[in-house]
Structure 1
Amino acid sequence: MTVREHLRRIFSSEWEPDLTSGGIVRPLLYLSIPLIVTNVLQTAYNIADTFWLGRYGTTELAAISFAFPLVFLLISVAMGLSVAGSILVAQYVGAGREAEAEYAASQTVTFSILGSLVLGVGGYFVVEDLLALFGAEPAVVAAAAEYMRIYSLGLVFVFGFFVFVSLMRGYGDTVTPMLIMFVSVTINIVLDPLLIFGVGAFPELGIAGAAYATIFSRGVTLVLGLWIMFAGYRGVRIRLSQLTPDLSFGWKLVRLGFPASFEGASRALSINLLLVIVALFSTPVIAAYGIGTRILSVIVLPAIALSQGVETMTGQNVGAGNPDRAAAANRVAAIALFVTLTAIGLLSTLIAEPLVAVFTTDPAVIDAGATFLYYVAPTFGLFGAMYVYMGGFRGAGMTSSAAALVILAFGVVQLPVAWIAAGAIGPTGIWLSFAVSHLVGAVVAVAWFQRGTWRGGDLASDGRLESPSADVPSDD
């Protein structure tokens, strides 16, 4: 059996969950468990970089703390297009309009790649100036800029895979992206120490090695993901004849995706502005902030995964005319996640110092990182509930509501609290701002969703975002 035939057998399963009828828990778990694994694997990129760079040098560890939020800021604009594509695919599939789903997926691939190319090239020339605004030590800025320039030029490979994951998720297939992500992470984990430290024939590249490892591993799996979608073995299919940019459809993607982009950009911007406050303190505090946010990103992965699963279930059920089923999926996911993550958060406070010590041996960093967890970890469940309902808003096409929640929680609440509290009680005030923002965000998200305004967000049937014609181009 050839490699091509073997791969085709892996990805040609005909069984897929019915998201629009029957029970809620089973299809939600089917969507969300692979997403949890995928997001864990995604975070493994950041953990591997943090782990190896922490052993390479404190300057590099602090630099990656600055680089990670800026990376997310660069890709967030283009990420909005992938979210828009995922929502449209979900609603069209729920409405039984497969041709429109394929057309939406193909156009999303085209405009997302174009957007990431523009952002990547533009980002290459401005990253150092942006990093300098944070007020970090010159050595830290120089190291972070080196990482960011490489990452910016390879942004199309990084983002291209995110598009693949989003479109497959909109169709209801989360298993295939999980398998591809495993390949990608394995390549990155193997290359990281080889390129950072210089092992055997590999040169010692330091922080640049972490960037090259990420770009190469993303590029390999992007090629595999595109092959799967062109072949149509699993999930939504893209077609060569439908990749020609359709400016009218692109504008519709932008209209739906801009709030999602703004959501991601606002969250990234709030983290970057928070770094301005963090940078007022010592390098160990900056390093502790980087470690703390990495731990936070791992532990709340179920929140992100269930939010994405709820987004797909909401989208398909709204498209199918089942808003009550969509509401039930949101409610069940929010309650389950609140209970689970609150328990995990309380457990994390009991092992805070050993947990931080996994990433560093510096006593000052361990102490500051443990304090971060004492304040933030008990609110993990609140963060999870907020993110579930944000997924519900996005799935219904109300991406502006999800963006507004992010702005409220992390812009209107967290930043002022961090600034005032840090001036009054030091770094502890920054950690306190996370807990306050999680509480406010969760309360507002629940109250807003229960108003039911999202029930009017059926994009697949109201004609606002349909494909240009009923007879979309086909390769068949």
Structure 2
Amino acid sequence: MNFFKGQEELELTEGNIVKPLIYLSLPIVVTNLMQTAYNLADTFWLGQYSTEALAAISFGFPMVFLLISLGMGLSVAGSVLVAQHTGADETEQAEYAASQTVSFAFIASVILGAVGYPFVRPFLDFLGASPEVLPGATAYMQVIALGLPFMFGFFVFISLMRGAGDTITPMFVMGGTVVLNVILDPFLINGWNIGPLAVPELGIEGAAIATVFSRSVAMLVGLAIMLAGNRGIQINLEDMRPDFEYLRKILQIGIPASIEGTGRALSINALLIIVGLFPTTVVAAYGIGTRVFSVIFLPAIAVARGVETMTGQNIGAGKYDRAAKANYVAAKGLFVVLALAGVLIFLIPTPIVAVFTNDPEVLAEGATFLRYVALSFGFIGIMRAFTGGLRGAGKTMVAAVISIVTLAGIRLPVAYVASQFRLQIPFVPTDAIFGVRGIWIAFFISNVSGAIIAYLWFSQDTWRDGDVRGTPSQGAVDSDDGDAAISDD
């Protein structure tokens, strides 16, 4: 059985819901797994290099997320527009949307990198990086800031191809470049000196160079594919001249998505300030835990992106009930899969953490972190599914509100209060003192709360007016039940 269906074999607006969703999402899982391998390779080799280097990348990763999140709204907007135009069989409009997205994404990433570079050290210092960690984290982030256009360019390629329903091509492109990164990491981090061939020991800076170089190769390959137009979506040089009138449409969708990504990134960075109040071993354990989560949550992220595409294409085709069904099916499936994964992690956390470190204190705290959060994994799947559907419907502001409320409104205050203060809890005979455990508890509470909020919001059906193409959809018929689809307001 071929589990990887090409774009021409997928029908997202007709027939069965589950099969096309799986075929669309599975390559995204593989792509994201390989993308996560960048971070895991860095974490592994830097963990062998020193605990300080491991802690440094724990500070660096949230800032990478912040820089990318500031510009990610453009790629989300491009994906939604391409999906809805594709679903409506509007090929020229889809290509124009993709071409404009590439142009403005490149401009935005250059500006973000240039503006972010001088603020790297002050920002990391503000986050609470210790004197022994700050130099390494700064060196890592300065390289990333300079390479941001290359890193962000590949994310845009993935998003646009996904909007057109092609998730296979990005998977293969990522496969080649991740191998390149894994090969480069140990040589650039530890150095290499054999005969006339010598590579200096660059430490954490070497990990950043390997990542940027590998992703720059991926970006160039992705641009070549889109210019050729043989797979997924095509971009045209004549359509890439910046159209600032069209930019308004992109920003209407993209700004809320950037707010979501930035709010998520700022919340992670703010949480790191709280984590930084504890010893370096706790910071390192936090870094390992979040990277483990990045692997475990791959199915949720992939299915959410698949739902985003299916929702967008079905809304473009006027099939709103089919779009809704895709969301509910995805939420149920992800809950089951991630809940089972959570039970497994809960039972055997220590061997997982041991892959990244042999420091006994980091090992113990990392295992505790995983055990506290693991049983909430299923709820992450529910939230991701529904927020993906909301983005596909063009309701990027709603998805942003859900994310920010969950992370900034629930996780942050719970983490700070529970880790820093004595708490009077009913039926507990004495004041509870959680310490760092309070941070881990906050993850559990916010994950469950986010799922409930996302489900309640999606079930209100306010997303059904989310046709963002700017073309009338009055009178479109949903073939699932024959009822007239809700018109575009």
Normalising by structure 1, what TM-score? Answer: 0.94
Q: Distance in 2 between matches of 1:371 and 1:441?
A: 22
CA RMSD of aligned residues (A): 1.2
Equivalent-residue separation in structure 2 for 1:421 and 1:125 (angstroms): 35
Q: Say if 1:121 and 1:153, in contact at 8 Å, map to a contact too.
A: yes
Partner residue in 2 for 1:404: 401
Select 1:374's aligned residue among 361, 371, 385: 371
2:152 is aligned with 1:159: yes
Higher-helix-fraction structure: 1
TM-score (norm 2): 0.91
Distance 1:299 1:135 in 2: 28
Partner of 2:423: none
| Matched position secondary structure for 1:138 | coil
Per mean C-alpha deviation after superposition, the further-off stretch among 196-205 and 45-54 is 196-205
For residues 419 and 458 of structure 1, the distance between their equivalents in structure 2, rounded to whole angstroms, comes to 40
Contact 1:319 1:461 in 2 (8 A): no
Matches within 5 A, 1:76-475: 76-200=69-193, 201-423=198-420, 424-460=433-469, 462=471
TM-superposed deviation, 1:97: 0.5
Give the AA of the match of 2:51: T
**In 2 relative to 1, CA 193–463 (structure 1 residues): closer, same or farther, beyond 3 Å?**
farther
Mapped partners of 1:118, 1:57: distance in 2: 33
Deviations 1:347-369 (A, max 9, x none): 01111011111100011101101
* In 2, Cα distance between equivalents of 1:103 and 1:224: 20
* Deviation per residue, 1:287-331 (Å, 9 max, x gap): 000000100111011000000000000000011000100000001
Q: Per the alignment, in what secondary structure is the counterpart of residue 254 of structure 2?
A: helix
Take 1:389 and 1:150, find their aligned partners in 2: how far apart are those partners? Answer: 35
Q: Note if contact 1:16-1:173 (Cα within 8 Å) is conserved in structure 2.
A: no
Please state how far the C-alpha of 1:75 moved relative to its aligned partner. 1.1
How far apart are residue 173 of structure 1 and its match?
Answer: 0.2
Contact 2:47–2:53, Cα closer than 8 Å, also in 1: yes
Instruction: Find the aligned partners of 2:313 and 2:155 in 1 and give their Cα distance.
Output: 20
Give distance in 2, aligned partners of 1:248 and 1:15: 33
Letter of the structure 2 residue corresponding to residue 114 of structure 1 = I
Amino acid at match of 1:109: V
Give, in angstroms, the shift of residue 136 of structure 1.
Answer: 2.2
Q: Is the 8 A contact 1:16 1:172 kept in 2?
A: no
CA distance 1:14–1:291, change in 2 (3 Å): closer
Cα separation, 2, equivalents of 1:259 and 1:462: 21
The whole-number CA distance in structure 1 between the counterparts of 2:299 and 2:159 is 17
2:25 is aligned with 1:32:
yes
Give, in angstroms, the shift of residue 16 of structure 1: 3.2
Aligned-pair distance for 1:254? 1.3
The one-letter amino acid of 2:132's match is: A
- Check conservation: 2:31, 2:174, Cα contact below 8 A: yes
Q: Structure 1, residues 218-247: CA drift from partner, whole Å, max 9, x if none?
A: 111111111110001100000000110001
Q: Sequence identity, in percent? A: 57
Tell me, yes or no, if the aligned pair for 1:17 and 1:27 is still in contact at 8 Å: yes
Is residue 67 of structure 1 aligned with residue 60 of structure 2? yes
The 8 Å contact of residues 191 and 200 in structure 2, kept in 1 or not, is answered as yes
Counterpart contact for 2:189–2:206, Cα < 8 Å = yes
Supply the distance in 2 between the matched residues of 1:368 and 1:297 (Cα, whole angstroms): 18
The superposition leaves residues 25-49 of structure 1 with CA deviations (integer Å, 9 ceiling, x where unpaired) of: 1110111000000111111011000
Gaps of 5+ in 2: 1-5, 421-432, 474-489
TM-fit CA distance, 1:463? 6.0
What stretches of structure 1 of length at least 5 have no aligned partner? 1-12, 465-476
Query: Which digits, 9 at most, give the CA deviation of each residue in 1:56-81, with x for residues without a partner?
Result: 11111000000000001011121110
Which letter maps to 1:145?
Answer: T
Distance in 2 of aligned mates of 1:184 and 1:251: 34
User: Could you list the per-position Cα deviations for residues 376-428 of structure 1 after superposition, in whole angstroms to 9, with x for gaps in the alignment?
Assistant: 01111101110110000000000001000111110100000000110131110
SS in 2 for 1:275: helix
Q: Distance in 2 between matches of 1:397 and 1:247?
A: 20
Contact 1:81 1:111 in 2 (8 A): yes
Structure 1 pair 286–239 and aligned structure 2 pair: CA distance change class (3 A): same
Q: 3-state DSSP class of the match of 1:15? A: helix
C-alpha separation between the residues in 1 aligned to 2:176 and 2:88?
33
Tell me if structure 2 keeps the 8 A contact 1:338–1:385: yes
